[in-house]
């Protein structure tokens, strides 16, 4: 059982849901990344998604793209990120990483090195289900969660195939398009997630566009967890020009409002 499996088993047993913040590794530097993970864990977040900066992101909106650009401008390396992650043991961590990086690094090597640093799983947004068998086999053998994405436009038969090859949890993309904060979520989102929940035993976590307590309250009944990215990364950008303790406190207060709506 991976750390992700154990987390959701414990949450389900207690009737609670997971808040999963997304943060970009190395923006503005890895020391801040480590401090932010510690702050988020202290506030009660359950799992953290660490974005590995990539020059050609697949579905990330302008806020996360800009954070990747800032990190890459400082010549951040995968080895440095994994080494820093090794010191972030406050809660389970998964990496969000492009398949190009994994393939270039070597699938077995990536999983082995990430796992050695305490990483519990990986999200590979551009890994097609038709090409996922080798990666899925490696991750199952190593008890390392391979979290895959289902979108609103994914045909239902294909969504079930994705679920069969996923471990840890299913990442349900709430909207068609790129990441980013939104004022409204699609009206059919709750029904679509409910349909999938009836057909897969995996926990389902919803991401893209979630940024307010109202969003959290709407989705809490059908989700096992909620992923919040752009709203956090946008506030992270201030750490390059403002006192870091101030930025950490503001982020901590923000996630506390989401947690209060998620597990009232």
Contact between 236 and 24 (Cβ < 8 Å): yes
Cα separation of 255 and 259, whole Å? 6
Q: Among residues 5, 29, 60, 224, which one is catalytic? A: 60
Give 79's contacts (C-beta < 8 A, 6+ positions apart).
none
49 is an active site residue: yes
133 is an active site residue: no
Residue with tokens 């976590």: 205
Cα separation of 39 and 55, whole Å? 28
Cα separation of 145 and 43, whole Å? 24
Q: Among residues 5, 27, 49, 224, which one is catalytic? A: 49
Give the number of other Cβ atoms within 10 Å of residue 243's Cβ: 10
Q: Cα dist. 150→20, 45, 131 in Å?
A: 17, 23, 15
What are the catalytic residues? Answer: 49, 60
């Amino acid at each position: 059982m991976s750390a992700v499996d154990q987390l959701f088993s414990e949450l389900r047993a207690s009737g609670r849901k997971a808040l999963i913040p997304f943060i970009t590794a190395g923006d503005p530097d890895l020391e801040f990344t480590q401090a932010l993970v510690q702050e988020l864990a202290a506030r009660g977040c359950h799992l953290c998604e660490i974005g590995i900066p990539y020059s050609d992101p697949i579905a990330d909106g302008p806020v996360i793209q800009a954070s990747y650009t800032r990190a890459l401008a400082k010549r951040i390396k995968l080895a440095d990120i994994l080494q820093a992650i090794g010191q972030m043991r406050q809660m389970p961590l998964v990496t969000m990483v492009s398949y190009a990086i994994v393939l270039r690094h070597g699938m077995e090597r990536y999983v082995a090195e990430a796992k050695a640093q305490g990483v519990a799983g990986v999200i590979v947004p551009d890994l097609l289900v038709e090409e996922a068998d080798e990666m899925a086999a490696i991750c199952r053998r190593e008890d390392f969660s391979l979290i895959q994405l289902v979108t609103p436009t994914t045909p239902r038969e294909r969504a079930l195939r994705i679920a069969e090859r996923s471990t840890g949890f299913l990442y349900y993309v709430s909207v068609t398009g790129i990441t980013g904060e939104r004022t409204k979520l699609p009206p059919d989102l709750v029904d679509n997630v409910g349909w999938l929940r009836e057909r897969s035993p995996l926990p389902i976590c919803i991401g893209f566009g979630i940024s307010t307590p109202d969003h959290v309250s709407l989705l809490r009944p059908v989700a096992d967890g909620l992923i919040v990215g752009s709203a956090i990364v946008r506030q992270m950008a201030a750490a390059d020009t403002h006192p870091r303790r101030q930025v950490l406190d503001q982020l901590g207060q923000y996630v506390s409002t989401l947690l209060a709506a998620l597990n009232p």
